[in-house]
Amino acid sequence: QAFITVNCAALPETLAESLLFGHRKGAFTGADSQHTGLVSAADGGTLFLDEIGELPLSLQAKLLRFLESGEILPLGETQPKRLNVRVFAATHRDLYAMSQAGSFRQDLFYRLNIIPVELPTLHERKEDVELLSKHFLHQFALQHNLPEASLTKDARQHLQRHAWQGNVRELRNVCERLSILLAGRDIAASNLPLDVRATSAVAASPLPFSLPDDGVNLEKLERDLLTQALERTQNNKTHAARLLGISRDALNYRLKKQFSAPFMP
Q: How far apart are CA 130 and CA 151, in angstroms?
A: 9
Q: Let me know if residue 265 belongs to a domain.
A: no
More confident residue, 45 or 17: 45
| Whether this model's pTM surpasses 0.75 | no
Q: Are residues 51 and 90 in the same domain?
A: yes
Q: Are residues 106 and 32 in the same domain?
A: yes
Q: Are residues 82 and 47 in the same domain?
A: yes
More confident residue, 172 or 23: 172
- The CATH number of residue 155's host domain is 1.10.8.60
Q: How far apart are CA 254 and CA 222, in angstroms?
A: 8
Give residue 200's pLDDT.
57
Q: Let me know if residue 210 belongs to a domain.
A: no
Task: Answer yes or no: is pLDDT of 262 > 70.
Answer: no
Q: For the chain, what is the domain count?
A: 3
The domain in which residue 247 lies consists of 218-259
Average pLDDT, integer, range 120-133 = 91
Task: Answer yes or no: is pLDDT of 28 > 80.
Answer: no
Q: How far apart are CA 183 and CA 149, in angstroms?
A: 5
CB 155 within 8 A of CB 190: no
Task: Answer yes or no: is pLDDT of 33 > 70.
Answer: yes
Q: Which of 87, 112, 137 is the last residue of a domain?
A: 112
Q: Let me know if residue 41 belongs to a domain.
A: yes
Q: Let me know if residue 264 belongs to a domain.
A: no
Q: Let me know if residue 213 belongs to a domain.
A: no
Give residue 102's pLDDT.
92
Q: How far apart are CA 231 and CA 251, in angstroms?
A: 14
Backbone angles phi, psi at 104, to 5 degrees: -145, 135
Q: Are residues 104 and 145 in the same domain?
A: no
Give residue 252's pLDDT.
83
Task: Answer yes or no: is pLDDT of 231 > 50.
Answer: yes
Average pLDDT, integer, range 65-80 = 89
Average pLDDT, integer, range 214-229 = 82
CB 2 within 8 A of CB 44: yes
Task: Answer yes or no: is pLDDT of 265 > 60.
Answer: no
For the stretch 139-163, pLDDT in tens is 999 999 999 999 999 999 999 989 8
Task: Answer yes or no: is pLDDT of 31 > 80.
Answer: no
Task: Answer yes or no: is pLDDT of 114 > 50.
Answer: yes
Q: Which of 112, 132, 151 is the last residue of a domain?
A: 112
Task: Answer yes or no: is pLDDT of 211 > 70.
Answer: no
More confident residue, 178 or 248: 178
- The CATH number of residue 53's host domain is 3.40.50.300
Q: How far apart are CA 7 and CA 52, in angstroms?
A: 8
